[in-house]
Structure 1
Amino acid sequence: MRVRMTRRAAVAGLVAVAALVVGAAPASAAPGDASAYGVKLDLSLLGSDAVSAGPFAAADANGPTSNTFVGVDLPDILRTGVINASASRNDDTGGVHSRASTADVRLDLLQSITGGVSAELVEAECDATQTGVTGKSKLVGLDLGRLGTVDTEPAPNTTVDVDLLGVDIAKIVFNEQIRNADGSLTVNAIHITLLGGVLGSIGTGDLVVSSATCGPAGLPIPMASGEGLWIGLGLLALFGIPVAAVALRRRHDLRAV
């Protein structure tokens, strides 16, 4: 009976160690994802055909990890210079990073109301590490015309209402940060929404300039090599070897009797 119980203890100890090692293996949880793009729009303007375009210069951590587009030219809506986007994953740390930048942005969509919106550079950035997911936006040389001013690095979800004769017909969100259900974060440097169905409306739809999504971070330690391997071997030595040694010693004592 003692031999059987000791064997069970040894097996249980080794199984517990194996569970710890296997439970921390990369296969149990894929690393986080990341993506980015420069411009995307879906608009229905009064008196014009619907316009859907983008995402331009889309990048993804699964490939392509970087992308460039020479510029968007949509008369009376939007013109831009060069767009760059990138997304990457660090399999050693589990962290992911994404970034989108759009140069020489000119938003003519609301020009008759705002006097024009322009910026030298519009950037969105997102990082996911083991400590959390963070994002930010940068708006260099931003000119909002009659809408006032916004900081170069605005606070998350800074909103400016666009009105005509006291009625809101659109809203612009700068450094929009959306916490998604899967734990990821989407950062839109500029997001314009047209509010249809109101007096003076010019249409409906959305236009986004520079968007980055990332996270949550993936597993930080690959158990097959490096630090993870040494942790696994250390656990094995700490729990598995002493239990196995006790089992062998008891078997030897019983045979001697």
Structure 2
Amino acid sequence: MKIRTVRRGGVLGVAVVVALIASALPASAAPGDGSAYAADVNVTLLNRPAVDIGPLSPSNTSGPTTNTLASIEVPGVLTTGVVTSSANLNESTGVVHSEAAVAEARLLLGNLGSIGSLKATCDATQAGNVGSTALTGVNLLGVSIPGNPAPNTTVSIPPVLSLASLTFNEQIANPDGSLTVNAVHVRLNALLGSGDLIIGSATCGPAAAPIPLASGLGLWIGLGLVVAVVVPVGLRLVRRRTAAV
């Protein structure tokens, strides 16, 4: 009976050690996903070959986490200045932040107009996913768009002829729990051709579980428990085996 008791105590000590060591290791839970890109072109203009380019300047939480291009030039479709994207995971909080920024976007499709700068942002936290779009210098045919458009603000350009349908701050709740924010989504109508042009896209979420590393006071408490629980059990095991011999 005594030997069984000692063995049980030894098993308990091992279990405690495993649990404490696991708590001191880096978090191994799968991180939240995030991604972003500056532009994606998939259009077919009348009497022209199809254009399928992108995503351009992509980034991802699994790497590369940032990306930059000096400019984008898609003849007959789009030109830009500097574009950037980033997607990052805070491993201690589980928060995911992704964004894409584009400067000097000119919509060459039907000479629809230009946007001085645009930025799509997506944040995934423990409270949920949140997205936004910021615009400056909007100069488009026949329409007025605020600097911070409401989600899924959609207009036809120009309003009467309707060469294209533009959605600003497009927000899509994906089946996997993530959120996609497209700063500008251009859909061509029959007078120009067919297809889609997305400028500035960020996807995030859901957030990862916040599992901070055991460090500082927490690490010292863990080591103290090892000394207080495991060491005495080990000593009793050695003494009783010695006595039995």
* TM-score when normalising by structure 2: 0.77
Inter-partner Cα distance in structure 2 for 1:20 and 1:159: 55
Other-structure match for 1:138: 134
* SS class of match (1:143): strand
What's the % identity of the aligned pairs?
45
Runs of 5+ consecutive residues of structure 1 not aligned to the other structure: 246-257
Conservation of the 8 A alpha-carbon contact between 1:43 and 1:51: yes
How many angstroms apart in 2 are the aligned matches of 1:20 and 1:217?
26
Question: Offset of 1:162 from its aligned partner?
Answer: 4.0
Q: 1:80-109 CA distances to partner (integer Å, 9 max, x unpaired)?
A: 111111111111111111111111111021
Residue 126 of structure 1: aligned partner: 122
Local SS of the residue matching 2:166:
strand
1:63 Cα offset (Å): 1.4
State whether structure 2 residue 220 is matched by structure 1 residue 226: no
Is the contact between residue 92 and residue 212 of structure 2 (CA under 8 Å) also seen in structure 1? Answer: yes
Do the aligned residues in 1 keep the contact of 2:115 with 2:135 (CA within 8 Å)? yes
Q: What is the rounded CA distance, in whole Å, between the counterparts of 2:105 and 2:10 in structure 1?
A: 68
Q: Offset at 1:202?
A: 2.2
1-structure distance, mates of 2:191, 2:17:
65
* Contact 1:140–1:152 (Cα < 8 Å) also in 2: yes
Report the Cα offset of residue 20 of structure 1. Answer: 11
Name the counterpart of 1:175: 169
- Give the aligned partner of residue 52 of structure 1: 52
Partner Cα separation in structure 2 for residue 235 and residue 179 of structure 1: 41
Q: After TM superposition, which residue ranges in structure 1, 4 or more long, deviate above 3 angstroms?
A: 7-12, 14-23, 25-28, 162-166, 230-238
- In the alignment, the residues of structure 2 paired with residue 131 and residue 183 of structure 1 have an alpha-carbon distance, to the nearest angstrom, of 13
Distance 1:85 1:164 in 2: 32
Offset at 1:16? 10
Aligned to 1:154: 149
Offset of 1:170 from its aligned partner? Answer: 3.2
**In 2, distance between residues paired with 1:9 and 1:131?**
43
Q: CA deviation at 1:201?
A: 3.3
For residues 172-218 of structure 1, the C-alpha deviation after alignment (integer angstroms, 9 at most, x for no partner) is 110011111111111100001124xxxx5322111000111111111
For residue 170 of structure 2, what is the amino acid of its counterpart?
A: E
User: What is the deviation of 1:74?
Assistant: 2.1
AA at the equivalent of 1:180:
N
Structure 1 distance, partners of 2:193, 2:152, is: 23
Runs (5+) with no aligned partner, structure 2 = 233-245
| C-alpha RMSD over aligned residues | 3.7
- From 196, 200, 206, the equivalent of 1:216 is 206
